Amino acid sequence: MVKFKENVTGFVYNTINGDIMEIFTEPIPDNIRVYGEDILLFDDIESINDLFEFESKEDLESDKEGFNTILEWVE
């Protein structure tokens, strides 16, 4: 299972390009808006684990989309 690295509180992800567009290191304001069904805001680990299905530390370390910069593997 993965968790946010220290000081990361969430991120905005573009599902079409597979890009992390913005990384949050402070609490995410309630009024932040993400437009479109292809631009997603992730601020809870459960939805990240459900959607991206990292199954091992190696999956996370070999990730080409950059998740290894904001997430870490926990047993």
pLDDT at 26: 93
pTM (2 d.p.): 0.85
pLDDT tens digit sequence for 7-52: 999 999 998 988 999 999 999 888 877 777 899 899 988 888 888 8
Amino acid at 2: V
- What are the residue boundaries of the structural domains of the chain, listed by start? 2-73
d(CA 39, CA 61) in angstroms, rounded, equals 24
Tell me if 67 sits within 8 A of 52, measured CB to CB: yes
Q: Which residues pair with 4 in a beta bridge?
A: 71
DSSP string for 33-64: ---STTEEEE--HHHHHHHH---SHHHHHT-S
Of 4 and 18, more confident: 4
Q: Cβ distance 13 to 37 under 8 Å?
A: no
